[in-house]
Amino acid sequence: MKKLVVILASLLAAAPVAASNDHDQACAVADNLVTADFGFPHVAAAIAAKKLTIVVIGSSSSALLDPTGTNRGYPARLEAALAAKLPGVAVKVIAYAKPRETAADMEKHFAQMLAADKPALVVWQTGTVEAMLRSDVDDFRAVLDDGINALQQAQADVVLMNQQYSPRTELMTSSALYADAMRFVALQHQIPLFDRQAVMRHWGELGTFDLNQATKKIDTAVRVHDCIGRLLGRLILDAANLPSSPDHAVQ
Amino acid sequence: MMLTKPLTRKGIQALSRSGEAAVAAPPPASAAAPPFERDLRLDLFRGIALWLIFLDHIPSNVVSLFTIRNYGFSDATEIFVFISGYTAAFVYGRAMRERGLLIAGARMLKRAWQIYVAHIFLFVIYMAEIAYVSKSFENPLYNEEMGIFDFLRQPDVTLVQALLLKFKPANMDVLPLYITLLACFAPFIWLLLRRPTLALAASALVYALNWNFDWNLPSYPEGTWVFNPLAWQLLFGFGAWCALGGARKLDRLINSRVTLGLAVAYLAFAFAIVMTWTFPRYAHYVPRWLSDWMYPIDKTNLDVLRFAHFLALAILTVHFLPKDWPHLKSPLLRPALLCGQHSLEIFCLGVFLAFAAHFVLEEISASIETQVAVSVAGVLIMSAAAGLMSWYKKIESQRPGSRRPPDADLAGGEA
């Protein structure tokens, strides 16, 4: 429904934007799909203390290396976007993106990561490997539950990020099952979900980015990651500005 | 009907109590054969369910935003499984009464075999498309997702696992469920003809036990079946129970004002909750205790909330759409009716058309106009194919010396 509203609105208003090829506006096409539904008190505190450390933990779709070996993935773009919006704050985004890691694999690194980096926010990107393996959805949910509890106990805010929208492989994975599981877990823990799948699907449908092309070139991928980094940055700042939810206040 | 999770066990006890009453009653209700007139509503709603399943199976289809799964807990799968249970009981219950357990059981196995063959046929088509797509797939953005094609490198394992119904590509989970249910259905029907309430209670008991023990069949490469047969058998069994006289027992309950009120209230509640998924900014209006109790709403194990949502929909449908509703014969509804009457063929065609639609969206255009076009075209093709099959069947049955068409068609569609 929301998607429908967004699509209709975009068709009416944003069609020239997509055609104008302006990168900022291309990112903005999906702006309405990214909302900070719950607050980030720890991020707010970290910004006030002028030092914001964010950890991105995910699988290989959280990284993008260009031929020179420079990382053009969204975590680096997130750092740049936040640094630009938060002058005077030392923003650091540390990314752990390992190929073929499931949520359970990632959770094993949490203790070490929390101790080493002391992040105010953890972006947990997962679901892709589970969808490819068709893992048990209940188990996936249980791992997410445990992991989020561990992160919250360590005084970190959490945002979940679901799979990329990948039109060519959509028929092969029941990705919706895992995306649904992530949405439920996020609602249950009252943490935001960055719905990467919906955002990218929207871009694909409107032709903002051609996600269907067979290519070895990296330029579209770079632009997609850049937009995701910026949208995620906007979500984080919005969430930091929200009054914290009653549950957080109790904690 | 408002069902709550903790109440279900009480519900089961109540069912088994009334089961005892039924057991005590002299010659079971089955002695008086239920009427075998055709209920067109079954055809209609199965046809609509087949369309909805087709629309939901096209990945990223804007038309699927209008299907019922976006407005409540349950979706077209529930409708399909319930009606399939209903018609299976109708057809094979009659066969069992006339010819005995052995013959009817053999017929059901034969039908399960036919569905198995249809499933494997679809799998071959699927493999052909995947193999084609994988050849032209290269994009640095999707380095990770390309791993999904790995299974093509080991056809030996993949094919054997598919034949064992363990490797099931996305959207190909419904037929294996149907095969399993039908293959194990004969003893249930046998009991249903003798002690209907006991049979239903047994089905509910399996559901409840599964709930506690988390049984499920294994899948390949990992995980379990997307539609757990031990949970979904409840809906299939409930459909069967309704077909063999249960629906009449529920008549008064269904038409009571209290039940209707509860059904409307529950549908409104489900709608409000589902809206907080589409618009998460309203999610904080859902109290913490409610979300803790309610989530996850599990499709694999047919969550009680989903089952209740289907019941509420069914109650309202049965109440407001009587069996002799004149519009059931209107030409406007005829395409859906025809599709519902050839459900296996049309279901398979729908799965194939969803593949084809995906192919068009990938290779030609993924625009919203194309999405609408392939959706409409798919529904039209399904209707035309069903019309053709009906026509052919009619012509064949009119040939001198030919036997009447199989009973299955007269009983509100094939099983």
**What pLDDT is recorded for position A3?**
53
Q: List the single residue in A177, A185, A214 with the smallest CB-CB distance to B139.
A: A214
Nearest to A95 by CA among A115, A68, A72, A69: A72
pLDDT tier, B201 (very low <50, low <70, confident <90, very high otherwise): very high
Q: Chain A within 8 Å of B212 (Cβ-Cβ)?
A: no
Please state, in angstroms and rounded to a whole number, the distance separating the CA atoms of residues A188 and B287. Answer: 10
pLDDT band at A45, cuts 50/70/90?
Answer: very high
Task: Read off the pLDDT band of B61 (50, 70, 90).
Answer: confident
Average pLDDT for chain A: 87
pLDDT band at A103 (very low <50, low <70, confident <90, very high): very high
8 Å CB contact of A169 and B148: yes
ipTM passes above 0.90: no
What does the angle CA B44 – CA B49 – CA B52 come to, to the nearest 5 degrees? 130
Chain B segment 51-70 residues within 8 A of A by beta carbon are 59-60, 62, 65, 70
Q: Do A134 and B221 touch (CB under 8 A)?
A: yes
Report the residue from B144, B279, B358 with minimal CB separation from A99.
Answer: B144
Asked if A174 lies within 8 A of B143 by C-beta distance, the reply is no
Confidence of residue A5 (pLDDT cuts 50, 70, 90): low
Q: Across residues A219-225, what is the average pLDDT?
A: 94
- For the ranges B113-117, B153-157, B273-277, B396-400, the lowest mean pLDDT is seen at B396-400
In the DSSP assignment, the letter for residue B218 is B
Give, to the nearest 10 degrees, the angle between helix B174-183 and helix B101-135.
160
Say if residue B82's pLDDT is above 60: yes
* Residue B35 CA, distance from chain mean position: 24
pLDDT reported for residue B314: 95
CATH number for the region A2-244 comes to 3.40.50.1110
DSSP letters, chain A, are -HHHHHHHHIIIIIHHHHHHT-HHHHHHTTGGG----S--HHHHHHHHTTEEEEEEEESGGG--B-TTS-B-SHHHHHHHHHHHHSTTSEEEEEEEE-TT--HHHHHHTHHHHHHHH--SEEEEE-SHHHHHHT--HHHHHHHHHHHHHHHHHTT-EEEEE-PPP-GGGTTT--HHHHHHHHHHHHHHHT--EE-HHHHHHHHHHHTSS--S---S--HHHHHHHHHHHHHHHHHHHHHHHSPPPHHHHH-
Residues in A touching B139 (Cβ below 8 Å): 211, 213-215, 220-221
Query: Range with the lowest mean pLDDT among B188-202, B212-226, B231-245, B299-313?
Result: B212-226
DSSP state, B324?
T
Q: Which residues contact B41 (CB under 8 A, 6 or more apart)?
A: B317, B318, B321, B323, B325, B328
d(CA B365, CA B35): 51
Report CA-CA distances (Å) from B256 to A122, A152, B252, B315.
53, 49, 6, 10
Q: How far apart (Å, rounded) are the C-alpha atoms in residues A26 and A251?
A: 39
Chain B residues whose beta carbon lies within 8 Å of the beta carbon of residue A1: 65, 70, 275, 278-279
Q: What are phi and psi of A52, to 5 degrees?
A: -120, 115
Q: Is the alpha carbon torsion for B181, B187, B190, B193 positive or negative?
A: negative
> Does the beta-carbon distance from B62 to A7 stay under 8 Å?
yes
Give the minimum alpha-carbon distance from B297 to chain A in angstroms, rounded to a whole number: 8
B193-225 per-residue burial string, b: 16 or more CB within 10 A, e: under 16:
bbbbbbbbbbbbebbbebbeeeebeebbeebbb
Given an 8 Å threshold on Cβ–Cβ distance, is A134 in contact with B366?
no
Is residue B31 pLDDT above 60, yes or no?
no
C-beta atoms of A167 and B59 within 8 A: yes
Q: How far is A37 from chain B (nearest CA, A)?
A: 5
| Res. B32 pLDDT band, cuts 50 70 90 | very low
| Confidence grade of residue B18 (pLDDT, cut at 50, 70, 90) | very low
Q: Which of A187, A199, A250 to mutate to test binding with chain B, by most B CBs within 10 Å of its CB?
A: A187
What pLDDT does residue A32 have? 84
The answer, yes or no, to whether residue A1 has pLDDT greater than 70, is no
Give residue B206's pLDDT: 96
Q: Are B235 and B185 in contact (CB under 8 A)?
A: no
Q: B176 contacts in A (CB within 8 Å)?
A: none
Q: Largest Cα–Cα distance of chain A, in whole Å?
A: 51
Question: Chain B contacts of A186, Cβ < 8 Å?
Answer: 280
What average pLDDT does range B294-322 have in this prediction?
A: 92
Q: What is the pLDDT of residues A114-140, one digit of tens each?
A: 999 999 999 999 999 999 888 888 899
Check whether A52 has a pLDDT greater than 90: yes
Q: Is B370 on the interface with A (CB under 8 A)?
A: no
| CA dist., res. B230 & res. B218, Å (int) | 13
Q: Tell me, what's the pLDDT at B133?
A: 81
* Most distant CA atoms of chain B, gap in Å: 72
**Most confident option among B8-17, B43-52, B120-129:** B43-52
Please check the confidence at residue B26 and state whether its pLDDT lies above 50.
no
Measured between CB atoms, does B345 come within 8 Å of chain A?
no
**Alpha-carbon gap: B171 to the closest alpha carbon of chain A (Å):** 7
Q: Is the pLDDT of residue B303 over 50?
A: yes
Better-predicted residue by pLDDT, B383 or B10: B383
Question: Given an 8 Å threshold on Cβ–Cβ distance, is B299 in contact with A177?
Answer: yes
Most A CBs within 10 Å, among B67, B144, B358, B360, to test the A interface:
B144
Other C-beta atoms within 10 Å of B4: how many?
Answer: 12
Q: What is the mean pLDDT of residues B314-326?
A: 91
> Among A158, A167, A239, which residue's Cα sits nearest to residue A200?
A167
**Domain extent listing, chain A:** 2-244
Of the candidates B62, B137, B284, the beta carbon closest to that of A245 is on: B284
Positive or negative CA dihedral for B77, B358, A184, B223? positive
Q: What would the pLDDT profile of B158-178 be if each residue is shown by its tens digit?
A: 899 999 999 988 788 999 999
Region A81-96: mean pLDDT is 96
Higher-pLDDT residue of B391, A25: B391
- Greatest mean pLDDT among A11-20, B305-314, B360-369 lies in B305-314
pLDDT at B412: 40
- Nearest CA among B342, B381, B415, B379 for reference residue B52: B379
Chain A contact present for B284, CB below 8 A: yes
Q: Nearest residue of B to residue A65 by CA position?
A: B140
Predicted confidence band of residue A90 (pLDDT cuts 50, 70, 90): very high
Which residue of chain A has the CA closest to B123?
A172
pLDDT at A102: 95
Token pair belonging to B29: 């209700």
Residue B373 class from Cβ within 10 Å (0-12 exposed, 13-18 middle, 19+ buried)?
Answer: middle
Question: For residues B67 and B199, what is the distance between their CA atoms, to the nearest angstrom?
Answer: 33
- Test A221 with B226 for CB contact under 8 angstroms: no
B214 in contact with A, Cβ within 8 Å: yes
Give the range among B248-252, B354-358, B406-410 with minimum mean pLDDT. B406-410
Digit-coded pLDDT (tens) for A163-216: 999 988 888 888 888 998 999 899 889 899 999 999 998 898 888 898 888 888
Q: pLDDT band for position A229 (50/70/90)?
A: very high
| pLDDT the model gives residue B45 | 96
Candidates A12, A169, A203, partner chain B, best to mutate (most B CBs within 10 A): A169
| A11 to chain B, closest Cα gap in Å | 10
Residue of B nearest to A10 (CA): B368
What are the chain B neighbours of A247 within 8 Å (beta carbons)? 288
* Amino acid residing at A115: A
Q: Quick check: A172 and B223 CB within 8 A?
A: no
Task: Average the pLDDT over B379-383 and give the result.
Answer: 97
Q: Does B215 touch chain A (CB under 8 A)?
A: no
Averaged pLDDT for residues B249-268:
93
Using the predicted structure, report yes or no on whether residue B157 has a pLDDT greater than 80. Answer: yes
- Closest CA relative to residue A192, chosen from A224, A236, A222, A149: A236
Cα-based torsion angle of the residue sequence A165, A169, A173, A175 in order, rounded to the nearest 10 degrees = 0
| Of residues B100 and B150, more confidently modeled | B100
A64, A174, A181: residue with CB nearest B170: A174
Give the best residue of A70, A102, A134, A248 to mutate against chain B (max B CB count within 10 A): A134
Secondary structure (DSSP) of A22-47: -HHHHHHTTGGG----S--HHHHHHH
> Any idea what the Cα angle at residue B277 is, between residues B273 and B279, rounded to 5°?
105
Which among A223, A229, A195, A193 is positioned nearest to A211, based on CA atoms? Answer: A223
Identify all chain A residues contacting B146, using CB atoms and an 8 Å cutoff: 169
How many Å is the Cα radius of gyration of chain A? 17
CA-wise closest residue to A55 among A179, A180, A128, A147: A147
Interface probe for A, chosen from B53, B142, B279, B294 (most Cβ of A below 10 Å), is: B142
- Mutation target among B145, B212, B281, B364 for the A interface, most CBs of A within 10 A: B145
Sign for the pseudo-dihedral over CA of B275, B279, B285, B290: positive
